[in-house]
Amino acid sequence: MPILPMLYQLPEELMQEVLERLGQSDLRSLQLVSRWAYAIAAPLRWREVELVDCRTQYEDGFDDHDDTPLIKVLLTLARKPELAACVQVLTHRCHLPPPSIFQELPQMPLASQTLSADPRTISLIRHAVRNMVKLHTLHIILGHPNLNDALLRCCFDKRRTKINPVRRLWLENCRVDKGCALSLNSHPPGLPLELDFSGVESVRFRRLPLSFGTYNHDDFVYSRGSLNGVSRKLEDGAGSTYRTTVNLLVSEQSAGASQLDWRDNHQTSVYTGDANPAPSVVSPLSALFKEANLYDRRIWEALSASGYLLPHDMPLLETGQLPSNVLRSETAYRGEWLGLLPQHLEEQVLHAFGEQRETLRLPQTVSLLCNSASSTLRSLTFDWVLIDPSFSHETATQSHWIRVFSGLFSLRLPHLRAFQLRNAVVADTKLPYDLFLLDHAGLNTRSRRHFIGLHGQPEQIQRLDTMCLEFMEAHGNLQCLAWPMEHFFSESGTTASADIAPRVSAVIDTLGRTLVDLRVDAMYSDIGEFQSDTSDSQSHSVARRRRRRFIERFASKMTKLTSIKIEGGVPRDERREIIRALHACPLEKIVLIGVTSTLGNTWGERGEDLGEPASHLRVPRLQGEDKEAVWKYGPAKPEDILPDFAFEANYGWPAGPPMLNVIAAHHASTVTELKFCGYQGAPALFAPTPLTTPLLSALKHFHNLERLVISLWFSTHFEGSPRDLDVISYWLNSRSPASTALVRVTDEEPEGWEKELKTKYAPDVLARRITSFLGPLLSEQAKARRGGVNVRASFCLGSYGGIFDVDLNVGRGALADVCLGFKGPREELEPERRRTKLDDRRWF
């Protein structure tokens, strides 16, 4: 019997359950079958919409940021309100991989002037968003600046939010200075001037350059294509690199200053009439936007020829009625985006195109955005944002920053349940040196050099001194808190200052009753984390005292936590003491992330026990485990390790139980999810050292375990050289239906490296190997449950540290453990994995 007639007979709830499991391509096919199928498939097909550009090759060059795909989507939504009304989640992202936060993001202001600058595209955003009456979530991830502004100003138009408020906002790898400005005097493309963020319940600022400082001459931005831009090699997020075209930031900024001189020497007639004036009157800004205007003209001509029509109320944007290139370029030019410009440009550009320039810096805009949403905001997250002002010695910059922090911690958000600030990655993400959540800010003589702009401002100093504490006092219902471990308390003394001690104790007691999710971090170290911090240097001893005060004064007071995450350069003994300090909490999820394996070093001192080459890793700094203690305590039962327990911090790493045994002793009965990330010293999949089994033996005590994420390691050396890129290419090709790289043209058995690939690194071989490696270590009860234990084995490959995951379910078979299904290996940017990461992000 045909399936389609059977679908008619299903109850609506069951019908939705069936359709929810279909992918976008399946829904697209289903909606073409019949009118009835269209009616049930279209709402799901258009529930989530992505606006993504592409790269297009022409005979005379290539457009690295062709907007054709996203324009087609916008045209459909603008002309068909019934489809736009189905949109609930809208995502705009560039097709390029996001910049590496370690090497690239600090050099990328994300202020590309020439991307998506065509007024027709901006106007289409306005028409399409107007029809999205059910939109509740907006993601912008490495979006094009002009589209960022258009989406934000249209989604949060004051006239719209009263009727259809967007509830969740995710901003990542983008600049949104003008897009988030609550009020503008004018906007040349005609976007809304008044914004209102009331109704927003969750905001995540992720990897944004929230900085005021001057940018360097080698900072760069993405450019449109090959005619003007310079090709540059960037990381592709999969262990290798790719090439794209960029412009130097200073060259885009200089064009505005040069335009002033050009204006004085030409007649105003060049601002009207022919959209393509003679070369003799090409202005600096016209030259900057020449490529963008050329490619946009091609895009719209191709769309028109293909039958794509503009909405009926956009007559002034037909190709033949566009303003001249000079006027278009000046309208599109954004002037100064990025806080303080280099001195030689600041005065020249400042008054050039004033009505189009941002009047507020992005950090100030962020505070105003949150304040506008204060009546509804439930979750506020700053996730690895570039904020550190300590490298700037300019009084103006420091003063700006003081006002920003003062504005942020002056917010009062009555419904706030999650407040997160994570900053463990690079120096640019550090908090100001003496800013503490539960202590006096160190704005005294010792640290005032960090706040130059406050000299002679005693009232401002007093206001900042306890602003974080006042913020915590005002938000007594927090359930999730993320904060740098070294910025809870200062290093001086063992208790809070007498004047604030009762207040601090009251806040900690309240959080002890309300917090269910706690996340702490410390700055990553390239060489990895040691077992214990024994350094005598002043900076290390200060940071160490601060971290340990957090453990003894804060972590030990928590009683309700179900989730703990410890990330970055936290020594292993301090991680262990946090776990011990939380002995009274019913922990269900434990996450430990570092550079070195957070469970212990299976490779031995300086990697001497590892049987495979690892010359590219920093194994000389690896500390060995006490092997006798590991073999003694590894197989022990949790109750035998801690028969009687009362928490008292005990640092160092004496001969005792391994990390996993400590976790099991306190939390095995409640834990359902474990995550251990760190590749140096991680268990070697193909050549495990003898110490691996006792270090992991305690896994068998986690009977309620549902999910395990663990870093594993393997060597790709073959005939004396590493073959990481070959393995990565093999994985990517193996899942691509269009690839012919795996086709053999002979009937001979594979030999050499090809045989090694198929018999060792093939996805199904890896899944079986992971199952046979980890399966025997897992709890028999956990594996016996329906679906078994979900395991994610994570590998780091490539010259640029690409992370690849194999997801599988390990179940208990009649004779041996079985793999119940697997996916991968998948890199972080693989479409399904990226989508899942967005959907499953907690507290968003």
Q: For the segment 150-178, what is each residue's pLDDT rounded down to a tens digit?
A: 999 999 999 887 788 999 999 999 988 77
- Position 783: which residue type? K
Are 185 and 330 in a shared domain?
yes
Given a contact cutoff of 8 angstroms between Cβ atoms, the answer to whether 702 and 709 are in contact is no
Residues 702 and 768 in one domain: no
Length of the chain counted residue by residue: 844
pLDDT of 350 = 38
Quickly state the pLDDT bin for 42 (edges 50, 70, 90): confident
Residue 793 covered by a domain: yes
Task: Give bridge partners of residue 792 from the DSSP assignment.
Answer: 709, 807
Who contacts 842 (Cβ-Cβ below 8 Å, separation ≥6)? 480, 517, 563
Phi, psi of 725 (to 5 degrees): -65, -35
Tracing tokens 């033996």 back to the chain, one arrives at: 697
Question: Comparing 59 with 455, which gets the higher pLDDT?
Answer: 59
Rounded to the nearest integer, the mean pLDDT of the chain is 84
Look at residue 186 in the predicted model and tell me its pLDDT: 75
| Complete DSSP assignment for 10-62 | S-HHHHHHHHHTS-HHHHHHHTTT-HHHHHHHHHHHTTEEEEE-EEEEETTEE
User: What pLDDT band is residue 4 in, cutting at 50, 70 and 90?
Assistant: low
**Residue-level pLDDT at 452:** 46
Domain identity same for 662 and 737: no
Q: Which domain holds residue 329?
A: 46-377
477, part of any domain:
no
Q: Are 135 and 275 found together in one domain? A: yes
* Secondary structure letter of residue 229 according to DSSP: -
User: What does DSSP assign to residue 585?
Assistant: S
Residue 496's pLDDT is: 67
Domain boundary among 330, 361, 377: 377
Q: Pick from 377, 403, 438: which residue ends a domain? A: 377
Alpha helices in 426-466 (DSSP H): 458-465
Using CA atoms, how far apart are residues 295 and 435, in angstroms rounded to an integer? 49
Burial bucket for residue 344 (CB in 10 Å: 0-12, 13-18, 19+): exposed
Q: Which residue, 559, 597, 562, 563, is CA-closest to 581?
A: 559
Instruction: Copy the structure tokens of residue 758.
Output: 């198929």
What whole-number distance in Å separates Cα of residue 672 and Cα of residue 675?
A: 10
Pick from 390, 534, 519: which is nearest to 450 by CA?
Answer: 390
Cβ atoms within 10 Å, residue 838: 17
- 617 pLDDT exceeds 80? no
pTM strictly above 0.85: yes
Neighbours of 733 (CB within 10 A): 13
Do 721 and 683 lie in one domain? The reply is no
- Statement to judge: residues 339 and 248 lie in one domain: yes
Residue 665 lies in a domain: yes
Write the pLDDT tens digit of every residue in 102-141.
Answer: 888 888 888 888 899 898 899 899 999 999 999 999 999 9
Reply yes or no on whether the pLDDT at 775 is more than 60. Answer: yes
Residues 610 and 727 in one domain: no
Q: Which residue has better confidence, 769 or 799? A: 769
Helices (H), 476-626: 501-514, 538-553, 572-581
Q: Which of 165, 91, 169, 162 is nearest to 134 (CA)?
A: 165
The dihedral sign for the CA sequence 741, 742, 747, 752: positive
Rounded Cα gap, residues 584 and 628, in angstroms = 30
Least confident of 357-361, 414-418, 639-643: 357-361
Q: How many angstroms separate the Cα of 119 from the Cα of each of 53, 124, 222, 322, 329? A: 16, 9, 19, 9, 11
Mean pLDDT of 413-434: 87
- Asked if residue 776 is part of any domain, the answer here is yes
762 and 702 inside one domain: no
DSSP codes of every residue in 781-818: HHHHSTT-EEEEEEEEETTTTEEEEEEEEEEE-SSSEE
> For residue 183, is pLDDT > 60?
yes
In tens, the pLDDT along 555-595 reads 999 999 999 999 999 999 999 999 999 999 999 999 999 99
Ranking 182-186, 276-280, 394-398, 438-442 by mean pLDDT, the lowest is 276-280
Q: How far apart are CA 519 and CA 566, in angstroms?
A: 6
Q: Which two tokens stand for residue 485?
A: 């471990």
Q: Does residue 339 register a pLDDT over 50? A: no
- Strand pairing partners for 206? 172, 383
Report the C-alpha gap between 814 and 816 in whole angstroms: 6
Number of domains in the chain: 3
Supply 375's token pair: 């009546």
Residue 58 scores a pLDDT above 60: yes
Going by DSSP bridges, is the β-strand pair 61-66/54-58 parallel, antiparallel, or unpaired?
antiparallel
- 487 within a domain of the structure (yes/no): no
Q: What are phi and psi of 35, to 5 degrees?
A: -60, -40
| pLDDT class of 338 with cuts at 50, 70, 90 | very low
Query: Is residue 181, in this structure, part of any structural domain at all?
Result: yes
The verdict on residue 331 lying in a domain is yes
Same domain, 586 and 675: yes
3 state DSSP class of 122: helix
Domain final position from 377, 399, 433: 377
Cβ(181)–Cβ(364) below 8 Å: no
Q: What's the mean pLDDT in 453-472?
A: 73
Are residues 586 and 705 located together in one domain of the fold? Answer: yes
User: What is the enclosing helix (H) or strand (E) of 426?
Assistant: none
d(CA 335, CA 408): 27
Angle at 206 between CA 203 and CA 207, to 5 degrees: 155
Give me the sheet containing 230-235, strands edge to edge. 220-222, 241-248, 230-235
| Preceding peptide of 825 cis, ω within 30° | yes
Burial of 259 (0-12, 13-18, 19+ CB in 10 A): buried
Q: Half-sphere exposure (CA, 13 Å, Cβ side) for 295? A: 30
- Token code pair at residue 94: 């560039």
Asked whether residue 566 falls in the same domain as residue 703, the answer is yes
Buried/exposed code over 371-391 (b: 16+ C-beta within 10 A; e: otherwise): bbbbebbbbbbbbbbbbbbbe
Q: Is residue 73 part of a domain?
A: yes
> Do both 678 and 723 map to the same domain?
no
Question: Does the structure show a pLDDT above 90 at 359?
Answer: no
Per-residue pLDDT tens over the stretch 275-316? 555 545 678 888 888 888 889 999 998 998 888 877 776 654
Q: Which of 310-314, 447-451, 668-672 has the lowest mean pLDDT?
A: 447-451
